[in-house]
Amino acid sequence: MNFLVFILVVFWAPPIRSVLDAAWWSSVAQLSTSLAGHSAPRPVCKQLQGLSPGQAQVCELFKDHMPAVSAGAHNAIQECQKQFNGHRWNCSTHYGSGHLGPIHKFATREAAFTYAILSAGVTHEIGRRCKQGQLTSCGCSDEQKPKNVKSDFSWGGCGDNVEYGYKFSRDFIDIREKEHDPKRNSGNGRSLMNRRNNEAGRKILKRQRRPKCKCHGVSGACNMKTCWMQLPSMDEVGKILRNKYEKAIRVQINDRGNLQLMMDETAGKERKTRALPTDLVFMDDSPDYCRYDRSAGTLGTEGRICQRGASGAAGCDSLCCGRGYNTYTQEVQQKCNCKFEWCCKVVCEMCKNVTQVDICK
């Protein structure tokens, strides 16, 4: 999704009173674009309809974090769209709805994936901005609240930046799931599920960090060694989450109000009695993503480009759900014969290509 288009959408789309509650990431994006641009009336966190009261409070306190949250969410949605490119559900939003990214009415696998990658994306971006020195309030150590940061730093150094991103993401994103919102009647189960999936996303990000070490003893010997953790790219996180999506575990809420694994069709074979903290969980069956259904929140696959003859999800047979497809001839201008110039410049010629596009009916 083009960011510019998105900005325009945010600015010009009339506010839609959706039956669904607006997603927080969409609201934050709205806030940070107006913080960055110097448009006169600065929206206040509390006026944003997508944020829960708790989130609005955090937003007010950490206004400088909001561009990072928005950028993180944006990266996450992009990665989500990359991962589900060519699938019936492709992580997209209805054009003109004023939202960024998909919104889920049901507690489906897709919702699980969206929540997980969003919280991972925010954690990632906050950690990155800490390293850039853009957020001066990043924490110093793993402890809850160091008494004196300055002397803590000279005594034992400062901890990892991801830790801060992790905590901020947990505080900001999960807080809405802990509040009781009268407007949301979907109940406790959905909140628990969201929290779990948020946590799974963050955990996967943390787990994918790889240590890099430098030896600096006598003559470079490794008796003295310092290691730091390297963040994975969103790419890697997306790939892993995609796998987790395939193996997502169905849960239900039990009498005590806890999530419980459902013993369903898989019970015969390897029965899973426990879900790992990094496993995605879901409760509802996915709706039919083939057709547009406002009440189910699905967009349908009409108008999507498919690949003729391909057997996978992107193939026309699968993507168009048997409705067939139309074939159009398209003239595309493409860059070609590009010449190398260092760093940021490529000189290309434009070539015209005539291709055929298949679009679902």
> Which residue among 23, 68, 138, 249 contacts another protein (CB under 8 A)?
138
Start-to-end Cα distance in the chain: 23
Q: Is 207 in the site for another protein (CB under 8 A)?
A: yes
Q: Does 155 bind another protein (CB under 8 A)?
A: yes
Which residue of 8, 42, 44, 142 would you call a contact of another protein, by CB under 8 A?
Answer: 142
Taking each helix axis from N to C end, the angle separating 66-83 and 24-36, rounded to the nearest 10 degrees, works out to: 130
Q: What's the rounded Cα separation, in Å, for the pair 191 and 201?
A: 15
Transcribe 274-327 into DSSP letters.
Answer: ---TTS-EE-S----TTSEETTTTEE-STT-EEBTT--STTBHHHHTTTS-EEE
Residue 85 binds another protein (CB under 8 A): no
Q: What is the Cα–Cα distance from 74 to 95, expressed in whole angstroms?
A: 16
Residue of the chain from 154, 185, 273, 311 that contacts another protein (CB under 8 A) = 154
Residues in contact with 47: Cβ distance below 8 Å, sequence separation at least 6, in sequence order: none
| The one among 40, 218, 350, 354 contacting another protein by CB under 8 A | 218
Contacts for 274 with CB less than 8 Å, ≥ 6 apart: 261
Rule CB under 8 A: say whether 255 interacts with another protein. no
Position 327 contacts another protein (CB under 8 A) = no
82 or 291, CB closer to another protein? Answer: 82
* 2, burial (CB in 10 Å: exposed 0-12, middle 13-18, buried 19+): exposed
Residue 345 as a binder of another protein (CB under 8 A): the answer is yes
Contact call for residue 338 and another protein (CB under 8 A) = yes
Decide: is 139 part of the binding site for another protein (CB under 8 A): yes
Task: State which residue, 269 or 339, has the beta carbon closest to another protein.
Answer: 339
When binding is defined by CB under 8 A, the residue of 8, 13, 16, 149 that contacts another protein is 149
Residues lying near another protein in the complex (CB under 8 A):
128, 130-134, 136-140, 142, 146, 149-150, 153-158, 161, 203, 206-207, 209, 211-212, 214, 216, 218-220, 223-230, 233, 235, 338, 340-346
